[in-house]
Amino acid sequence: MLKKILTCIVSLFLLCNITHAEDINLHAKSSILVEESTGKVIYENNADEQLHPASMTKIMSMILIFEAINEGKLSLSDDVVVSKESANMGGSQVYLNEGETYKVEELLKAVSIASANDAVVALAEKVSGTKEKFVEKMNEKARILKLKNTNFINPHGLDDNNHYSSARDMAFMAKELLKYENVLSYTSKYEDYFKKKDGSSIWLVNTNKLVKFYNGMDGLKTGYTEKAGYCLTSTAKKNGLRLITVVMGEDSIENRTEDTLKLMNYGFNTIKKELILDKNKVVDKLKMDLSSKKYIDVYLKNDIVKIYDINSSKIKYNYKIKYKDNIRFPLKKGSIIGKIKVNLDDGTSLSEDLIIKENVDKIGLMKLFRKNLNIFSMGVN
């Protein structure tokens, strides 16, 4: 099987230089290609059909797990006790036994690399107390992300008639998960070992073989069940450009691989990304008479980038800044104080929130008194 996949990959590298969307012929029931930073859809076909997502479901599960870690509610070093339910999971697994204790990071590795159903259920129970409460959070997060064709019944992806998603929704789940960049340190591994409590080890081999054979690919999640067919949500980065692809309803691993490579190659061959304004650079200095600082450094909340045809010339632009009418102190780090609108020479425009990156207090009464006294004194002859 691996030899067939490798042969398919080599053939596509030699032959697949697709530069027009109409030349993309895929086997998948549903597919999409998205640029990660902007969410711009580069290509789609039947992307909103509700289909079984199989183990790609674990992308949403990992969103909630990494969210809990980011918020300090969960640590990679926390202990997880394996329940009877998680130990009895079928499908892909690392054969956990009831009552065993593992670290969050060990189980996360098993989920990310080997798509272990027992490990993801154990983590779901750790995050929310029960699998059922975790699934409620999954669906709540889907609503927050405005995913219109998604409903979860479980955290692992085994078939259920009411468990479904779409290529578009999966792509934007992947975009959300990629906010937690350390997830790629797990999903990019081709192989590792899961150490069992009896001293033995299970060899973990990534279900996404492209992380080894496709330059720049570092995730994200495969899936297969009888009803779902073969599925893959993938991501790769080259020359600062990160793409997300989803293919669903494939009839073989070979076709899943071929279709993913066609989409990736098309994206990297036809579009480029230009950073217009950097969120890490000061875009303006705002004078504030009643604050503890005379000037406040102003930043963008997010980078402003433009995705456009690879053969296009460099973009020219100008921008306008508009601050809120009533900025009240004190202000906390990250406070939104206005908006910037960037007008591009192709007739389009982009906008982004403006923030501050430090706390700013209201000027004290004594300082205000002294300031006014100085002004008064300067006016006396």
- Residue 153 confidence (pLDDT) above 90: yes
Predicted structure pTM score: 0.86
Confidence of residue 371 (pLDDT cuts 50, 70, 90): very low
Q: Looking at 31, 115, 128, 335, which residue is catalytic?
A: 115
Give me Rg for the CA atoms of the chain. 25
- Residue 303 confidence (pLDDT) above 50: yes
pLDDT tens-digit series, residues 230-257: 999 999 999 999 999 999 999 999 999 9
Based on the fold, state whether residues 84 and 140 are members of the same structural domain. yes
- Look up the CATH number of the domain holding residue 136: 3.40.710.10
Based on the fold, state whether residues 170 and 203 are members of the same structural domain. yes
- Residue 368 confidence (pLDDT) above 60: no
Q: Looking at 30, 31, 58, 166, which residue is catalytic?
A: 58
Based on the fold, state whether residues 260 and 297 are members of the same structural domain. no
- Mean pLDDT for the chain? 90
Based on the fold, state whether residues 137 and 182 are members of the same structural domain. yes
Predicted confidence at residue 312, as pLDDT, reads 85
Which pair of structure tokens corresponds to residue 348?
């389009």
- Residue 313 confidence (pLDDT) above 70: yes
Residue where one domain finishes, among candidates 273, 292, 313: 273
Q: Give me the DSSP letters along 129-154.
A: SSHHHHHHHHHHHHHHTT-TT-B-S-
- Domain membership of residue 376 (yes or no) is no
DSSP H or E stretch at residue 105: helix 104-114
Determine the length of the chain: 381
- Count CA atoms within 13 Å of residue 89 on its CB side: 26
Residue 115 catalytic? yes
pLDDT tens-digit series, residues 38-68: 999 999 999 999 999 999 999 999 999 999 9
Based on the fold, state whether residues 182 and 312 are members of the same structural domain. no
- Residue 4 confidence (pLDDT) above 90: no
Spatial distance between the Cα atoms of 110 and 114, rounded to a whole number of angstroms = 5
> Which domain does 234 fall in, by range?
2-273
Based on the fold, state whether residues 266 and 289 are members of the same structural domain. no
**Segment of 72-86, 288-302, 314-328, 343-357 carrying the highest mean pLDDT:** 72-86
Spatial distance between the Cα atoms of 241 and 216, rounded to a whole number of angstroms = 10
Residue 351 catalytic? no
Spatial distance between the Cα atoms of 135 and 154, rounded to a whole number of angstroms = 6
- Domain membership of residue 333 (yes or no) is yes
Based on the fold, state whether residues 262 and 231 are members of the same structural domain. yes
- Point out the least confidently predicted range of 90-94, 141-145, 154-158: 90-94
pLDDT tens-digit series, residues 77-136: 999 999 999 999 989 999 999 999 999 999 999 999 999 999 999 999 999 999 999 999
Predicted confidence at residue 185, as pLDDT, reads 97
**Tokens 């406070």 — which residue?**
335
- Domain membership of residue 374 (yes or no) is no
Predicted confidence at residue 12, as pLDDT, reads 52
Q: Looking at 30, 55, 61, 128, which residue is catalytic?
A: 55
Residue 55 catalytic? yes
How many separate domains does the chain show?
A: 2
